[in-house]
Amino acid sequence: MKKILTLLILLCFLISCERKEPNFSKEMIEKLADRGEVKNGIVRLPPPPASFTDLYFGVNRDEIVLTNGDALFLFYKEDYSEKFKSFKEFLSAVLNDGFVLDKKLFKNPRYPKRFTLNQKIEKEYSDLGFDQFFKKYSKPSGKKGVLQLNKSIMKSEEGEYLTVTYLMYKNKYDISRDCYQGIDYLRKREDSFR
């Protein structure tokens, strides 16, 4: 009887385990890894627009880096091309598997953009859950079916904006900026890569 009970508990545990979906699918990683067509050192075809998407990764337990595909490509070429077989493999490790880049790479203290999460926003996210958090920090943009980030309720000097955008990113929403109008649109990640 004990063996059957143990077997049933083990079976229930295995069935209940969820496989975590990666932040970026294989297709998305391929698009991010696309550097355009280069012949004789000249770019003939530009990389796809998805390669300009904001990307975040950690450098230690507390610090997060905001960057883009171009900067990650430079880190790969200069410091990680021997450790990883391809840029795609490097991107997948950094964006999906939590690979931590060496902090010594960031010689310029301003680049790439580094920040720590705002504890007030983190607690609010934890208390509300993502759906309610999303409702609070988004609003209609005036364009049919398009949402924008509700920046009016954030204090940028306290890192609230970066924390909110990072938490949206972790939940597969990307920010598309209209610098002229000062609007940040929210897009589902899969829509950014179409």
Q: What are phi and psi of 27, to 5 degrees?
A: -65, -40
Predicted local distance difference test score (pLDDT) of residue 121:
95
**Residue 147 or 6, more confident:** 147
Grade residue 57 by pLDDT with cuts at 50, 70 and 90: confident
Nearest CA-CA partner of 67 in 56, 77, 59: 56
Q: Tell the burial category of 183 from Cβ atoms under 10 Å away from its Cβ (0-12, 13-18, 19+).
A: middle
Residue 20 binned pLDDT confidence (cut-offs 50, 70, 90):
low
Indicate the pLDDT class of residue 164, thresholds 50, 70 and 90: very high
Share of the chain above pLDDT 90, in %: 34
- Residue with the bigger pLDDT between 180 and 79: it is 79
d(CA 110, CA 126): 30
Asked, as a colleague might, if the bond just before 112 is cis with ω within 30 of 0, I would say yes
Instruction: Answer yes or no: are the C-beta atoms of 186 and 168 closer than 8 Å.
Output: yes
pLDDT of residue 134: 96
- Confidence check: pLDDT of 22 > 50: yes
Whether residue 65 has pLDDT greater than 70: yes
For 154, the 3-state DSSP assignment is coil
For the chain, the domains span 23-115, 117-194
Question: What are the two backbone dihedrals, phi and then psi, of residue 132, each rounded to the nearest 5 degrees?
Answer: -70, -35
List the beta bridge partners of residue 176. 185
Asked if residue 9 has pLDDT above 70, the reply is: no
pLDDT digits (tens, 9 = 90+) for 89-139: 999 999 999 888 877 766 666 567 888 999 999 999 999 999 999 999 999
pTM (predicted TM-score): 0.80
The mean pLDDT of 9-29, rounded to a whole number, is 64
Positive or negative: CA dihedral 74, 78, 79, 81:
positive
- Residue 29 or residue 59, greater confidence: 29
3-state SS class at 162 = helix
With a cut of 70, say whether residue 143 has pLDDT above it.
yes
CB-CB contact of 64 with 114 (8 Å): yes
